[in-house]
Structure 1
Amino acid sequence: MTIDIPGYRPGTWTLDPAHSEVTFSVRHMMISKVRGSFGVKSATIVAPENPLDAKVEASVDVTSIDTNDEGRDTHLRSADFFDVENHPTMEFRSRSARVEDGDLFVDGDLTIRGVTRPVSFALDFGGFGTDPWGNYKAGASATATIDREDFGLTWNAALETGGVLVGKDVTINLDLQGSLAQD
């Protein structure tokens, strides 16, 4: 199967970290959500003629976690959660892309804390354009929900009122902009 994406150009695309972000949200005390972000280290998309055959490799700097609370961030970097001393990055490698009911998904392997599991990101293209310096750019957003315990992130605390301090489901949001490599 092939799809037509207006403005699509084959080639090697590299992520622009200054115009991209990785954010997440997770239930806190079962009543609200904590949101945070990570710095993007790198991402490359090798895009052939058929966009569904593109390959994505990305690396996120887990040490850069920011939830607007330094104490919580320090705990998240510890061995209780991400264990950044031994696992400073989170990695994603695509396996395939597909269209399902008109929606585009990128399926791949996500590695967190040395544990690799399959993940599907729902992809929303923002479009393509040329910046004032002649660089051809693409923008997209993607979302996936993972069970953090599947990746060894199992720390939690029971609450006196019932339930737990940290929810299992984590929603990952990507807002990305990349440039097509110049020939």
Structure 2
Amino acid sequence: MTTTNTIDIPGYKPGTWELDPSHSEVGFTVRHMMISKVRGSFGIKSATFIAPENPLEASVTAHVDAASLDTKDEGRDQHLRSADFFDVETYPSIDFVSTGVRVEDGEMLVDGDLTMHGVTKPVTFEFEFGGFGTDPWGNSKAGATAKAVVNREDFGLTWNAALETGGVLVGKDVTITLDLQGAHQA
């Protein structure tokens, strides 16, 4: 494993970046019945990326509206919002606060604390910059994607049902995928 203390990101612009919710998404994928995957998404309330001169000293805080969960099946969504899963009445937000940025073997990693269902656990996102640009109105924009796999049971999301054929209805591992676009503030 090789780590580095600096990284060169073409077009990198220090300052504060605010997430644009209309051009960003938090997606997830989980196994269903051990044979297929169910996909869904959440709406992002807010996210701020603080970008100092050294990108490896950057920080991010993000807040997701748990009740905005959408799997394109209202019955399933209501069940996922219930006390069996996210219990959005009690835990209305899913939050991430970074604790560090690093590069290992050429890959950028963002470490942080993910709080979901009232439980906080460390998570590492594989992070990839999409690039920087200027929109037609002169605003600086940045894009990125990030991905992490978490065990939902680590966050107290333990509901499940055994299948007659063996296995369970809902897999433990959930892949979280972030598609992000932010606007430079200062």
> TM-score range, shorter-chain basis?
over 0.9
Give the deviation of 1:108 after TM superposition.
0.2
Instruction: Find the counterpart in structure 1 of residue 155 from structure 2.
Output: 151
Residue from 90, 95, 98 that aligns with 2:99: 95
Structure 1 runs of 4+ with >3 Å offset = none
2:110 is aligned with 1:106: yes
Read off the aligned partner of 2:6 and give its amino acid letter: T
Instruction: Find the counterpart in structure 2 of residue 35 from structure 1.
Output: 39
Instruction: Find the counterpart in structure 2 of residue 14 from structure 1.
Output: 18
Residue from 125, 130, 145 that aligns with 2:134: 130
- Could you tell me which runs of 5 or more consecutive residues in structure 1 were left unpaired when the two chains were aligned: none
Structure 1 length-normalised TM: 0.99
Secondary structure at the aligned position of 1:156 is classed as: coil
RMSD: 0.5
In structure 2, what is the Cα distance between the partners aligned to 1:139 and 1:98?
Answer: 18
Residue from 63, 72, 79 that aligns with 1:75: 79
Read off the aligned partner of 2:14 and give its amino acid letter: P
Give the deviation of 1:72 after TM superposition.
0.4
Secondary structure at the aligned position of 1:76 is classed as: helix
Residue from 48, 64, 70 that aligns with 1:60: 64
Read off the aligned partner of 2:141 and give its amino acid letter: K
Instruction: Find the counterpart in structure 1 of residue 8 from structure 2.
Output: 4
Q: Deviations over 1:15-68 (max 9, x none)?
A: 000000000000000000000000000000111100010110000011000001
In structure 2, what is the Cα distance between the partners aligned to 1:89 and 1:134?
Answer: 33
In structure 2, what is the Cα distance between the partners aligned to 1:114 and 1:27?
Answer: 23
How many percent identity over aligned positions? 74
Give the deviation of 1:2 after TM superposition.
1.4
Instruction: Find the counterpart in structure 2 of residue 160 from structure 1.
Output: 164
In structure 2, what is the Cα distance between the partners aligned to 1:3 and 1:27?
Answer: 36
2:145 is aligned with 1:141: yes
- Could you tell me which runs of 5 or more consecutive residues in structure 2 were left unpaired when the two chains were aligned: none
Structure 2 length-normalised TM: 0.97
Read off the aligned partner of 2:88 and give its amino acid letter: V
